[in-house]
Amino acid sequence: MAHGRPTLDGDTELEKVAISGAALAALMQAVNSSAGDCDGVLFGHVERNTTSTMVDEDVGSRTSHNSTAVVTGHFCSGRVTSFYDATGHIDVAKFAQMVGEREARGGDPPIGWFVGRRGTVMRPSMREYTVTANLRGTQFSAPEDAAVGSEDVRDGKVKDSRTLNSANGLLGEGNGLSSKEVLAGRKNPSQEGALSKLIGIPSSSPCIFFLFTESSDANSVHTHEYRAFQYRTKLPGAGFFETRAVKIVNIGQAFRGLYDFAPVAPFPWFTKSSGFDGESSDEGLRRLSMTPHHADVQMDVPQEADQALLDMYSQDFSVDRLQSLIRTEGEGGSVRELEALYRTMLRKLDVLAKQVCEGNGVIFEQELANSKLKMALQSAGKR
Amino acid sequence: MAMVQVQHNQQQQQQRPPPSASSSTYVAPAVPSWLQAQLQYLRTHSPIPLKVENLRSGARNSCILDRFSVLIPCCLSLIKWEVVYNGNDTRVAPDIIFGDGDNTFQPLTDTSDLSPCHFLRDWTPSDPTRLLKLILVIRVLYLQYQRKKVEEVKDERVRFEMSTMGAIQGLEMCVMATSDGMEEVIFSVPLVLEVDSPYSATTAQAPSTLLNDISLQVKFPVQKGQSIGSAPQLKLVAPEAMKDVFDVDDVKLPEWPEHMCLVEYMPTLQLTIQQQVREARASIGLRRNFMESLFPFFGRPLEADMLYYRKISILTSSGVFTFLIHFVLPIQFPKMQPAFTLQSSQHFDARGKPLVSRPYQDYPWSPRWETSEMAQRIFEFVAEECIAFKRHCNDSLSQR
């Protein structure tokens, strides 16, 4: 799965820039509410689509690739020169501050930046050009990562954090790394520190620049304008901006994929290939369903983490059983297993409800005792 | 002085409060004092005529005017840059947005001594000289950038011109895209004129350098780096103020034969222009003599242009009819006769404006007459014509 992906190159020509209506509205609101000009960082990811065209003749199908940059979020500084100086030089510390927190929460990596300026033409200025060139050209990665294939490490981490936490439907991007690596990485503070240093726009990602303006001219038909540019470098040292069409993703069936409505459950991430390779699926299933508690004994550390994650949503459903369920997708037995999973999830809810009830009872009793004490205190005070 | 005046007027127009319905507490937009000082310095100290226009605001309540366009002469054309300050944070150095076709001109990546980064790094808004220095240094870089673009043009004719003209002092060049998808290489060459002729002594007040400032603009059309082969577009450009003495639009340029080149063309052109400029200077003296000859016939003037002697207004009377005569003297005086109008000081239209005659330019005239005879002939013509004018005035009054 991971091998079939085309190689990532940040200079690949984008077909368009997509942004959901809500994200654009939030961005415009941020620009609009700032007292003067403002800038900020854009976050997002790239969707690469491969279109195959089948033809009648026996020449095989033709495939075409196109990329769409999806802007999913932003951070607005509310002023200009927030992470760079007047000459366009990037202040790494300030940029890290604007970016770092978001990635730790599992958002998309930075994909570019934006500027909102009122009453100006929709062309990048000399400073905006230089800032973009520096964003693209500067390597902000930590030195220890540079030694061991920093690109892979960075790529993996960024993607995995998305897989785990965001509901952006990026599971489908098909990188073969399992989430146990992320969990392990999270627990390790030294690697956490390295993660925060890995800022900037990865060279595998395109660099987007968004420009917003609004005019106070009462005669103009529309007062808010936006334009997206992709920064490209055909020759080294000679970058240029290319205007890109902006697609605002609206509600409707056709936009589901872009709107990221794909139902994503926060379950552990399995691939079909992993698991009990030597065993037939039915056998494994039977074995697991018979002895749900037996598996605990031979569980290794990452499985424990997966189990802990699963236990948050279900009662007594082993993680191996869930893995088998994925492997047997499309076969008859899975319905029964799925129902069993739902039952354990309902049981979990039952347990939670019971816990809430009990908790409420304790709180009620405590409050009763509190009020009794208060009464006693008051009567004592009157005397 | 005249130019500064015009700019002030424009600025006042810009400062008119734009209609704003959104803000309830409306504050009239104003130029902050630090920017006012920088613009004032720019107007008074710039060695090239820069023009600031379209002052506008970038603030949400649009009360601080902090961005504007600057028109900068380049190759005898004007290019427009936008200068963007941030009124809310005056410590931030200004940013500049260049023209549409200059998307590869990036002065901040320049690492030479000319780099504008030096100005931007320690920007202080209280220093009024900074803005002008910044614009001038970026303009130098821009001309270098355009020169490099011209050097990249793969057209033999342009390359030849470059090799022969390249070292001329004051030469500017650029490549511009035209509306029909073509490009043109533009050269601007200042003409070297010797205007210190004996005739110039007649006008001590006229700045002697004024007539020295004529340049030739040459446009070679090219398409994808190949020349079309047609003759280049030639145009003489002179400062607006020269129009009162010498109008470059009236000059008939020498023909551009095939296989002509600029180095060969320039001396012929300079000789032609020099001759015409001399005539124009001589014409100033003749106009002055003509005006002085009018006085014995019409009386002392109310108003006269004492710099170039292009206009004069005289109050005179015929019997009880008192009227004004306004003369306009052409640059080609005395080849072309002056035009004049009569204006009654006794008849007014419904709105209180004085009645004015048609412009007279069809009276007897010969450029070979003495100025006194010219004045006398005009006086005789006016003496007859004013009666008809008076009748016309009375008629139009009685019709109401």
Q: What is the pLDDT of residues B85-139, one digit of tens each?
A: 988 888 889 999 998 888 888 888 877 777 888 888 888 888 899 899 999 999 9
B266, B190 Cβ separation under 8 angstroms: no
Which tokens is B325 given?
A: 């005569």
SS3 A186: helix
Alpha-carbon distance of B211 to B241, in angstroms, equals 10
pLDDT of residue B51: 92
Q: Across the interface, do B88 and A217 touch by the CB < 8 Å criterion?
A: no
Find all residues with CB under 8 Å of A1, minimum gap 6, and list them. A174, A176, A271
- For A298-317, the pLDDT digits (tens) are 445 677 778 887 888 888 88
pLDDT of residue A330: 56
B58, B84 Cβ separation under 8 angstroms: yes
Say which residue, B17 or B66, is predicted with more confidence: B66
Cα B141 to Cα A134, B46, B74, B121, B180: the distances in Å are: 21, 17, 12, 18, 28
pLDDT of residue B225: 56
pLDDT of residue A199: 63
β-bridge pairing A110-116 and A62-76: unpaired
Chain B residues contacting A via beta carbons under 8 Å: 18-21, 56-62, 66-67, 82, 84, 86-89, 92-93, 95-98, 100, 103-109, 117, 120-121, 123
Select from B283, B329, B327, B320 the least CA-distant residue to B301.
B327
A285, A324 Cβ separation under 8 angstroms: yes
Q: Which residues of B touch A240 (CB under 8 A)?
A: 103-104
Cα B218 to Cα A12, A61, B69, B76: the distances in Å are: 41, 56, 27, 10
Interface test with B, best of A31, A87, A230 (most B CBs within 10 A): A87
B172: left (phi over 0), alpha (psi -120 to 50) or beta: beta
Packing angle between helix A150-165 and helix A92-104, nearest 10 degrees?
A: 40
Residue ranges of chain A with per-residue pLDDT less than 70: 1-9, 52-62, 101, 103-105, 138-199, 216-221, 235-237, 250-301, 328-333
B365 pLDDT higher than 60: yes
B226 pLDDT higher than 80: no
Alpha-carbon distance of B145 to B101, in angstroms, equals 12
Q: Across the interface, do B97 and A88 touch by the CB < 8 Å criterion?
A: no
Range in A73-77, A333-337, B171-175, B374-378 the model is least confident about: A333-337
Taking CA–CA distances from A237, the nearest residue in chain B reads B109
Q: Which residues of B touch A119 (CB under 8 A)?
A: 56-58, 67
Alpha-carbon distance of A111 to A40, in angstroms, equals 11
CB A330: neighbour CB atoms within 10 A? 5
- For B272-295, the pLDDT digits (tens) are 888 888 888 888 888 888 989 888
SS3 B151: helix
CA distance A239 to chain B (A): 8
Residue in the structure block whose two tokens are 């003209």: B165
CA distance A109 to chain B (A): 27
Residue in the structure block whose two tokens are 């124009």: B280
Alpha-carbon distance of A323 to A327, in angstroms, equals 6
User: What DSSP string runs through B35-66?
Assistant: HHHHHHHHHHH-SS--EEEEEEE-STT--BEE
Closest CB to A81 among B84, B92, B109: B92
Which amino acid is present at B76?
Answer: L
Which tokens is A86 given?
A: 């007047």
Alpha-carbon distance of A29 to A25, in angstroms, equals 6
Alpha-carbon distance of A286 to A290, in angstroms, equals 6
Which tokens is A373 given?
A: 């004490």
B396 pLDDT higher than 60: yes
Q: Across the interface, do B57 and A119 touch by the CB < 8 Å criterion?
A: yes
B326 pLDDT higher than 50: yes
CA distance A123 to chain B (A): 7
Interface test with A, best of B64, B97, B134 (most A CBs within 10 A): B97
Q: Across the interface, do A35 and B19 touch by the CB < 8 Å criterion?
A: no
B9 pLDDT higher than 50: no
Closest CB to B106 among A33, A129, A218: A129
Q: Across the interface, do A127 and B108 touch by the CB < 8 Å criterion?
A: yes
pLDDT of residue A298: 47
Q: Across the interface, do B107 and A126 touch by the CB < 8 Å criterion?
A: yes
Select from B118, B121, B185, B114 the least CA-distant residue to B144.
B114
Q: Across the interface, do B21 and A123 touch by the CB < 8 Å criterion?
A: no
CATH class as words, domain A14-52+62-259: alpha beta
Q: Which residues of A touch B18 (CB under 8 A)?
A: 216-218
Q: Across the interface, do B92 and A120 touch by the CB < 8 Å criterion?
A: no
Closest CB to A87 among B67, B84, B121: B121
ipTM score here?
0.71
Taking CA–CA distances from B87, the nearest residue in chain A reads A36
A312: left (phi over 0), alpha (psi -120 to 50) or beta: alpha
B6 pLDDT higher than 50: no
Alpha-carbon distance of B80 to B68, in angstroms, equals 10
Interface test with A, best of B67, B69, B92 (most A CBs within 10 A): B92
Find all residues with CB under 8 Å of A361, minimum gap 6, and list them. none
B7 pLDDT higher than 60: no
A1, A271 Cβ separation under 8 angstroms: yes
Taking CA–CA distances from A219, the nearest residue in chain B reads B19
Q: Between A and B, how many residue pairs show a Cβ–Cβ distance under 8 A? A: 98
